[in-house]
Amino acid sequence: MYVTYSDMEYLRKKISDKIKKLRKTKGLDQQTLAQRTGLTRSYISLLEGGKKMAAISSLSRIADALGVRVGEFFEDNHSFLKPRIVITKNTQASPLSEKNGIGYTYTPLSREKRGKTMDPFLIRLEPYNVQKHAFVHKGEEFNYVLQGTLKFTYENEEFILETGDSAYFDSSVPHKLEVIGEHPVYVISVNTTLSADPEDIKSQS
């Protein structure tokens, strides 16, 4: 499966539509959702309008607030032909068509599988496109470097990860990835989102 700019636009629209639909189903306005996630109302508005691509960590916080899994933002109800197993072939990550503020693009894998306990992504990190903020989201995360070298910052610690290296960590601790060198880095990232009480999230915002 080749991921093109049009595919990324489709993904952006799918995410924006799902966020808006789920928010309204829960009877929340944008301001309330923003307060429960610690994000700004303007950011929520940009996501719902399809004008901005959300970082996976932001989607995780929104999912917590809405009481759903991150994978639900990507699931396509028309594609569940074999719900017990999903084979995804020849996936390639798309390069950035424009700077998106998060420094990478991501392709959800196995989106046809419903009710996943893991959410796998193929990530392409771009050189010279530094993440502005550390990511924080509930759950656990596993990253495996397919190609390239990057600096992995985990709270106050820094690690150099090269091809074949991996990291498994508590993703509620601030973390960020930065490309070392002049070439993109490809990573398989698997996320799990722990169940959370929206009121607990609200108290932390």
**CA 202 to CA 189: how far, in whole Å?**
27
Q: What is the mean predicted confidence (pLDDT) over 33-37? A: 94
- Percent above pLDDT 90 for the chain: 43
Is residue 52 a contact partner of residue 100, using CB atoms and an 8 Å limit?
Answer: yes
Q: Rounded to two decimals, what is the model's pTM?
A: 0.72
Rounded Cα distance, 130 and 57, in Å: 16
Residue type, 14: K
What's the CA gap between 9 and 51, in Å, rounded? 10
Task: Locate 46 and state its tokens.
Answer: 């940009």
Domain range for 73: 1-205
CATH code of the domain in which 110 resides: 2.60.120.10
- Convert the pLDDT of each residue in 9-20 to its tens digit: 777 888 899 999
Predicted pLDDT at 174: 93
How many domains is the chain partitioned into structurally?
1
Angle at 122 between CA 118 and CA 127, to 5 degrees: 135
Query: Predicted confidence band at 70 (pLDDT cuts at 50, 70, 90)?
Result: confident
Asked if residue 204 has pLDDT above 50, the reply is: no
Mean pLDDT of 174-197: 84
Between 2 and 114, where is the model more confident?
114
